[in-house]
């Protein structure tokens, strides 16, 4: 067993002739809340897309708890423990809030197609369990009152929280959050920071997050990697990153 | 007594209402029509329409599962119906050699027709998984044409030695006691019309049962997840291709069963009956009934089959009226202003007759 | 030598498919809709040409022009009345409306002109040219059909790539909202697209009737489906794709009919389509679209 939940080695991807990310190395340890920051277009979301195999990396390796996920699909990557949210929220917006979480619970519901077609006892008991589990998860994100609402009708901040709840429902060991605070007001952001710490402790998971809100990043992350033009600019603690002249230059220009 | 009221409350609760209403409508329609037949107050034209209507309804329900819940357009329903009709016809002649009762033969034939169509559904599922949107639609259309062409050239005979197949020309070389069930372009000949209105209603109920139970389960949620957002669905560990294939197969099985019911409602039928226009007709029923709305599908199919019959008096103009109605319905239901006023009117009515709260 | 003559007749059929496919592909490219009524516009074109030639005694060119004029107006009218109100509707709603228009045209023709087929007068019958010492005979009719298709292709490509209006068309097919913000009148671009597509349908109808001289209300259905298939084969939305797809489909159809089995021709043609899409999911020359994550 590797000591790292996530380890990448020289990860890179080209689009056409353009190198979007190159030599990306990161090591996320168990229980880390890890920040991935960088100016717009630095390739942060592209890294997430490679980690979840939405994009096939052009080179390099990705190890999850020591297992090479090079040949896995998005689905298999989720099953070995990576769950994510999306920068441009991707909820099942016509379905209810509860159903969205239940879809996250899909693989933990252990009844077969025949059970659902013929409504066996197993179907009913499992559905009851899924329902309770979904409400429990919604409760963590203060969404239990909206269970019957359409996901698409929720306010923006609530949609972001629902997406995290859905990702958590798949029982990940590593949660990738893509700009979780985007579109949230300061109060919501503060609540989100508490929630992030809370779910790390409660579910015993590691979290890797992309965020532009520096207050959130500096407030919750214990380690940070800065990405610029597809290259790792530096790794370090929040203090180190904040005081690094290269990082300041990348954000503010010369 | 208390138990009964509780059950009633449950089946009419928000969660189950759609299901309950759809079953009720079918059963009610059956009772009314059966009474009308018994009292002789129904014309022979309508009577001859009963079995085809039931089979169109089943095919439309199956298509609505595909379009409404999986979100994929299929223009090849007629192909699956054809497979069900022809395989069902052969099965019915084959089994009636060993089994005497009509009902078991019909049931076996419907199962065979469903399985045959289901296999075709799996076969077409392979290209379908790679394609999207209109490309997918055209492949299902192509599939329908391929099936039709193949069936137009198929010869199947049954004699004491078993089944004989031949292709393009009749080389079945059967014993003198043999029956040629499928004769290429001339079509299929079954010795006995096995389908009945009751069988049709039971098949509709069966299709509703399968579709509702599928949709309201974790599998159904996964199917809708694939429709709403493929990338998000796979990010939570749902295999989009597996569920697409599953829905294509289930839809094809039900459509095949509808085809068998249809075919066995006639003493003979041709492959050319199952052409592109039939697929389009079923698609129209589904869209007008409302995507994902099974009760709507049942009602719209019935109405759209009855309206042209009711317009018999305007014989020459009836299809033109039909097409104008079709266009008008689409234009009106997609006109934001008209729909806005309609909603206002509805709200107004609601205010005038406030609903009593039951819970 | 036999093969060569079959190949040429395949190219002739393919040319007609290509001209019809252009109508599908252009409308799809701009309006993102499958215009199911396109085949029935061909049928109307054939009737107009028939009456112009046979009843009114027009010369061929005048009959062709009359047919083009009627179809162009018809195309624009259909767009304005039936499709324009549905700009923001779902593609399925537009599809059903197009089906309604198709039913309407077929039944209107049935009502006006009856179900008995009209025999189209012989046109473009100028004899043959002989090649290889008489071993290969090619009729002028075939040459005219192929030449028409090539001329149309060249003109259309030049139009789309070189003119202002063509540029506006390409902009609309890329992003209608952005085009509107750049001051392009999207509605008139769409009207123009329908006008061109329907005009081409009229040309195709005359060429089709020169080859198969029977006119019925359902005349357009099968060529419509085949040409639509051709457009998808080539990659729907792509003008060279429609040309390539049409030619390939015509050649495959004729060769399959002669060398494999006339009964199974349709099955073979559509199987080729399925196979091509298996390996090239957006057709031969279609653009790959990928979703931004």
pLDDT for the residue numbered B97: 86
CB contact under 8 A, C111 and B317: yes
Q: Where are the domains of chain B?
A: 16-275
State how far residue B247 is from chain A, nearest Cα, in angstroms: 12
Structural fold of domain A4-252 = Rossmann fold (3.40.50)
Strands A67-68 and A82-84, by their bridges, are unpaired
pLDDT per position as a tens digit, B291-342 = 999 999 999 999 988 877 777 777 778 788 888 988 998 998 888 788 888 8
Is the pLDDT confidence value at B356 over 60? no
Q: Where are the domains of chain A?
A: 4-252
Highest mean pLDDT among A30-44, B39-53, C125-139: A30-44
Which of B93, B75, B202 shows the shortest CA–CA distance to B139?
B75
CB contact under 8 A, B323 and C103: yes
CA of B207: which chain A residue's CA is closest?
A: A117
pLDDT per position as a tens digit, B111-170 = 999 999 999 999 888 877 888 877 888 899 999 899 999 999 999 988 888 888 888 877
* CB of B197 closer than 8 Å to CB of B204: no
Mean pLDDT of the residues in chain A:
92
How many Cβ pairs closer than 8 A exist between chain A and C? 6
* CB of B270 closer than 8 Å to CB of B187: yes
B355 pLDDT tier (thresholds 50, 70, 90) = low
The set of chains that have 3 or more CB pairs under 8 A with A is: B, C
**Runs of H (alpha helix) within B15-76:** 17-38, 44-64
C97, C104, C270 member nearest B145 (Cβ): C270
The set of chains that have 3 or more CB pairs under 8 A with C is: A, B
- C-alpha to C-alpha distance for C193 and C157, rounded to whole angstroms: 14
Which B residues 277-296 touch C at CB under 8 Å? Answer: 280, 283-284, 287-288, 291
Phi, psi (deg, nearest 5) at residue A175: -110, 125
> Environment class of residue A43 by beta-carbon count within 10 Å: exposed (0-12), middle (13-18) or buried (19+)?
buried
pLDDT per position as a tens digit, B274-284 = 988 899 999 99
- C-alpha to C-alpha distance for C269 and C239, rounded to whole angstroms: 21
For tokens 């901040």, name the residue.
A157
CA angle at B63 for the pair B61 and B64, rounded to the nearest 5°:
65
Is the pLDDT confidence value at B358 over 50? no
Between C113 and B354, name the one with better pLDDT.
Answer: C113
CA angle at A65 for the pair A62 and A69, rounded to the nearest 5°:
35
pLDDT for the residue numbered A140: 93
The phi-psi region of residue A186 (left if phi > 0; otherwise alpha if psi is between -120 and 50; otherwise beta) is: alpha
State how far residue A131 is from chain B, nearest Cα, in angstroms: 11
Which C residues 63-82 touch B at CB under 8 Å? Answer: 82
CA of B281: which chain C residue's CA is closest?
A: C99
Distances (CA, A) of A117 to B72, B115, B220: 22, 17, 10
Measured between beta carbons, which residues in chain A are less than 8 angstroms from residue C292? Answer: 88
For tokens 């049935």, name the residue.
C110
Which B residues 66-95 touch C at CB under 8 Å? Answer: 67, 73
- C-alpha to C-alpha distance for C25 and C231, rounded to whole angstroms: 6
Measured between beta carbons, which residues in chain C are less than 8 angstroms from residue B327? Answer: 82, 97, 100-101, 104
CA A102 to chain centroid: 18
* CB of A147 closer than 8 Å to CB of A138: yes
pLDDT per position as a tens digit, A59-112 = 999 999 999 999 999 999 999 999 999 999 999 999 999 999 999 999 998 899
Any B CB within 8 A of C290 CB:
no
């Amino acid at each position: 067993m590797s000591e790292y939940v996530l380890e990448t080695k020289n990860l890179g991807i080209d689009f056409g002739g353009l190198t979007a990310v190159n030599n990306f190395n990161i090591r996320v340890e168990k229980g880390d809340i890890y920040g991935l920051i960088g100016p717009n277009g630095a390739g942060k979301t592209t890294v997430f897309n490679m980690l979840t195999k939405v994009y096939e990396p052009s080179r390099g390796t990705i190890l999850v708890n020591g297992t090479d996920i090079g040949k896995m699909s998005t689905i298999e990557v989720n099953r070995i423990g990576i769950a994510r949210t999306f920068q441009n929220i991707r909820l099942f917006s016509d379905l209810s809030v509860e159903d969205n979480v239940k879809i996250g619970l899909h693989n933990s519901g252990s009844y077969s197609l025949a059970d659902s077609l013929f409504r066996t006892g197993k179907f009913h008991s499992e559905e009851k369990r899924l329902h309770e589990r979904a409400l429990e998860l919604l409760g963590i994100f203060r969404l239990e009152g909206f269970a019957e609402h359409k996901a698409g009708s929720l306010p923006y901040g609530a949609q972001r929280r629902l997406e995290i709840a859905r990702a958590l429902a798949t029982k990940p060991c590593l949660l990738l959050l893509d700009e979780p605070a985007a579109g949230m007001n300061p109060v919501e952001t503060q609540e989100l920071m508490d929630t992030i710490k809370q779910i790390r402790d409660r579910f015993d998971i590691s979290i890797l997050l992309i965020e532009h809100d520096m207050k959130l990043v500096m407030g919750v992350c214990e380690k940070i990697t800065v990405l610029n033009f597809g290259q790792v600019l530096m790794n370090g603690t929040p203090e180190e990153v904040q005081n690094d002249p290269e990082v300041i230059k990348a954000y503010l220009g010369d | 007594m208390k138990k009964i009221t509780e059950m009633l409350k449950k089946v009419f609760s928000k969660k189950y209402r759609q299901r309950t209403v759809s079953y009720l409508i079918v059963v009610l329609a059956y009772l009314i029509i059966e009474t009308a037949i018994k009292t002789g107050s129904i014309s022979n034209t309508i009577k001859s329409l009963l079995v085809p209507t039931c089979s169109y309804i089943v095919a439309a329900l199956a298509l609505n599962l595909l379009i409404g819940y999986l979100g994929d357009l299929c223009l090849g329903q007629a192909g699956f119906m054809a497979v069900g009709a022809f395989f069902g016809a052969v099965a019915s002649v084959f089994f009636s050699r060993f089994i005497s009762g009509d009902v078991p033969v019909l049931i076996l034939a419907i199962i065979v027709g469903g399985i045959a169509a289901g296999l075709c559904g799996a076969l077409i599922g392979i290209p379908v998984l790679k394609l999207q949107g209109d490309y997918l639609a055209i492949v299902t259309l192509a599939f329908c044409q391929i099936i039709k062409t193949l069936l137009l050239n198929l010869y199947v005979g049954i004699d004491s030695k078993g089944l004989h197949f031949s292709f393009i020309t009749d080389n079945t070389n059967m014993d003198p006691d043999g029956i040629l069930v499928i004769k290429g372009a001339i079509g299929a000949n079954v010795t006995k019309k096995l389908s009945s209105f009751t069988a049709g209603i039971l098949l509709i109920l069966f299709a509703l049962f399968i579709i509702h139970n599928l949709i309201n389960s974790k599998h159904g949620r996964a199917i809708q997840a694939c429709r709403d957002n493929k990338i998000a669905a796979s990010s939570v560990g749902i295999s989009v291709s597996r569920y697409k294939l599953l829905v294509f197969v289930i839809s094809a099985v039900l459509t095949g069963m509808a085809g068998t019911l249809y075919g066995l409602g006639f003493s003979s039928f041709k492959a050319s009956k199952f052409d592109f226009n039939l697929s389009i007709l079923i698609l129209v029923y589904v869209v007008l009934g409302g995507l994902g709305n099974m009760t709507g599908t049942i009602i719209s199919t019935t109405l759209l089959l009855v309206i042209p019959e009711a317009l018999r008096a305007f014989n020459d103009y009836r299809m033109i009226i039909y097409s104008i109605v079709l266009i008008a319905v689409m234009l009106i239901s997609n006109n934001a202003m008209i729909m806005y006023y309609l909603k206002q009117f509805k709200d107004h009515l609601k205010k005038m007759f406030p609903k009593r709260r039951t819970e | 030598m036999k093969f060569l003559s079959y190949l040429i007749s395949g190219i002739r059929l393919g040319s007609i498919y290509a001209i019809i496919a252009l109508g599908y592909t252009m409308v799809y490219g701009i309006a993102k809709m499958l215009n199911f009524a396109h085949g029935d516009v061909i049928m109307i074109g054939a009737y107009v040409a028939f009456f112009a030639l046979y009843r009114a005694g027009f010369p061929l060119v005048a009959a062709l022009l009359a047919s083009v004029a009627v179809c162009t107006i018809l195309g624009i009218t259909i767009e304005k009345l039936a499709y324009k109100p549905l700009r923001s509707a779902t593609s399925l709603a537009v599809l059903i409306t197009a089906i309604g228009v198709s039913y309407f045209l077929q039944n209107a023709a049935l009502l006006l002109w009856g179900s008995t087929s009209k025999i189209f007068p012989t046109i473009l019958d100028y004899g043959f040219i002989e090649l290889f010492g008489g071993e290969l005979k090619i009729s002028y009719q075939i040459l005219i059909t192929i030449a028409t298709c090539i001329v149309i292709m060249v003109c259309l490509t030049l139009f789309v790539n070189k003119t202002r209006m063509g540029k506006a068309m390409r902009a609309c097919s890329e992003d209608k909202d952005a085009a509107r913000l750049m001051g392009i009148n999207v509605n008139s671009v769409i009207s123009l697209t329908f006008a061109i597509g329907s005009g081409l349908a009229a040309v195709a109808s005359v060429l089709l009737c020169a080859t198969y001289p029977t006119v019925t209300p359902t005349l357009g259905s099968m060529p419509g489906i085949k040409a639509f298939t051709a457009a998808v084969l080539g990659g729907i939305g792509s003008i060279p794709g429609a040309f390539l797809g049409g030619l390939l489909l015509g050649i495959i159809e004729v060769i399959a009919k002669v060398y494999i089995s006339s009964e199974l021709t349709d099955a073979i043609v559509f199987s080729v389509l399925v196979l091509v899409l298996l390996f090239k999911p957006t057709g031969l020359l279609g653009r790959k679209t990928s979703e931004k994550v």
